[in-house]
Structure 1
Amino acid sequence: MSTEPTAAALDAAVPPVSGNPAPAAPPMAVHVAPLAPQGGAPPLASKEPNAVVKYWRKVGGGSLALSLLIHVGILVGAYFLVETIVLENKVDFLPGGGSKAGQEASQSLAQQVQQKKRTNISKMLPMRKVVSTSANAAIALPDMPSDNLEMPEMSSLMGGGMTGSAGFGSQGAGGGFGTGIGTGGMKGVTFFGMTTPLDRVVFVLDFSVSMKKNQVELVVNEMGKTLKMLPMRSQYQVILFAGGARFADRNWKVEQPSTFERIMVHRGKQKYRFFSPTKSHTDYAFDGSDNELPKDDWLTSNAVNVGRTMEELDKKETWGGTDWRWAFKTALNMSPPPKVVYFMTDGLGGSNVELILDYNKRKAKATLNTFLMHTSAGAPLMKEIADKTGGRFTIVKNDGATIPGDMYFANKAKYDKELKE
């Protein structure tokens, strides 16, 4: 509506011409209505925020949300920045570069080249098993191209991590892959210069009264060296023989009730009787079957067992008679059967070679290595036993020097003379 004053109002406001004043008009209230918005729409009513929104605004939620968004943006940007830097640092394949990544790349490439060389060698030279039963056999190894071989650095040759004194050996005084005191390059046991891989080994030693004092001492000392070299937890046993056989342990004793009767006593209870029906020191019989011969368990190589064995050997108690058969049979009866036997004697006695070989074939199929103590008596028989079982025959002189069987038979006259001196 218009707010202009009406004509009546104007007339009332103008004083009359006459001198008498006109009476005053009463005041009039004017109401001004709000302007309607264009378009004819009715005005909107204001809406109060709810309690949650009011509380959120009160605690500054808007500022917190904005701060969180800003921090998230910073973290995302930092992630992509670091990822880019790491990826760029890894790309470093410059040969001879000084960076760590460059060194790693060079080492990886060198390893790949060496692996390829080894693969080529393996294809060109397949593995072959080389076996010799003679100490003097000539073994020809296949030629290998030198340009494919990886040569060790001088530092490893001059000092390195090699603990042996020479050759390719592990610890020990012996060098190379040959024999001698020490295991050299062959894992096993060495007895008077003969090395054999160790797996259930029995030492059968002549303890007859015909063995001279220095010979017994030589054998006992050699056994001390050998037993100390045995790998831990390997299995071994030592058998002593003369007229009959027993194990080298404090639980075994020898009784000699008469000149040609020997009784082996185990733990003071079990008795094994040997006797000579022909009244001969080299011909003994056993009172029982072969399966009833003296028995004992395998010994595990450790300080306690080796100490007990050496304690018995150090007594050097010999007794009368010499018969190979029962000593061999007692050793071959071990359960499980032995794989290697070392047999030492100072002469003939009950030496039925065919019987021994047949028993070994039926019971154990063991390798039989034979030794004669400063004598050639029985050398052909000892050589036959060794040759037919894949073993070796050796003569041991009183000073501990050894004569390989092949060398002895190649120059028999020379060595027979030496053994008589």
Structure 2
Amino acid sequence: MSDGVASRMTAANVLEDVLHHGRSLKAALGSALPTLPDPRDRALVEAIAMTALRQRVRYNAALDAWMARPLGQRDGNLRSMLLVGLAQLEMGLPAHAALAATVDAARALGRAHQAGMVNALLRRATREALPPAAPEAAWPTWLAQQIRSDWPQQADAIFAASAEMPPLWLRVNRRWIVRDDYWNLLREAGIEATDAPYLADALRLHAAVPVQQLPGFDAGLVSVQDAAAQAIADALTPAAGSRVLDACAAPGGKAAHLAERDASLRITALDVDARRMRRMQDSFTRLRLGIEVRVGDATSPAAWWDGTPFDAILIDAPCSASGIVRRQPDVLLHRREADVVALACIQAQLLDALWPLLAPGGTLVYATCSIVRAENSAQIEAFLARTADAALAPLAAHFGHDTGFGHQRLPGEDGMDGFFCARLRKR
């Protein structure tokens, strides 16, 4: 089997797992990509899967309109393969190669008798524009209605931005190199980038590349992290020598950013999942950072806290991920309305459990990658109402829309992900 056929089959299998077996995209890619030895094939499979999931409503509408008979329940893997083919064409891959590899992959899936149909449908897609579909159509009704209720003026822009391919943002490790010097390394490697004027360590690539092609990646000079997430370090701004807790730390990007900025910080990175903690430790090792890694439940500090207050606490709370749909398009397939209610309860528990661990005069930053007010501004408003020694501290305008109880950046604004951030001081 050629590498081209293998990569298309892998992409179709990933889509099948996500669309028809309820598996998360991250988990499906995590088990599928290591089977491909060439990093270029792995990057291609990930790009195809992302594109197909973002545009699945449009693609399915085209297939349903163009086929004389709809595909049956047993044709899930064939539909997934057709989505793979349409995604490649939209990504701008050479049509002849994309069609040939996809048709051969359909045969390899045991669909030789339908290979002609696959070829005909994909050839039609090279000649005709796909029927348009409103980006909102990809969202579950309850969540689309919630977004329109929370952000009536911005809802259309949110849905449109969430269907687009996000840019690749880099975080330069200032412990080892300043941003301008790393920018020069990128230019020497033929990689174009743009800075973010109010984020000292951020660079936005004009075109995404595999991390293996980034100069000094293995040596820890740079990491991939969206600019909105990088802004959290500026919100916390712990003083030199501070004791800092990153309470829901995995995958570790924010703790690493804090350590890169100030070697004197005493940072504890906490997470409840031991497997994620091991991966996080590997990342800290690559970046050459000495961060204490601890497994524990942030809602139950008695099991792991030593009684010494923290000067600064970051709660990057579990949430609906509604602000990063363009990066995790399977969120729209798997999220349920009851999930938001359950997550809001966990978020309140985290705030209440961790606030006593903060020293007087200390700073707590609450952040999510959600754009749902119940998880964000409403959460902070309720916490302040029940917590006498908590006060909201101002943030600069570049953190996003001022909600009155924290700042909300919406998807696509300044090229960034949707992200909420509130800064609290302890009296």
Common fold by TM > 0.5: no
Higher relative contact order (Cα pairs below 8 Å, separated by 6+ residues): 2
TM-score with structure 2 setting the length: 0.25
Larger radius of gyration: 1
More helix by share: 2
TM norm structure 1: 0.25
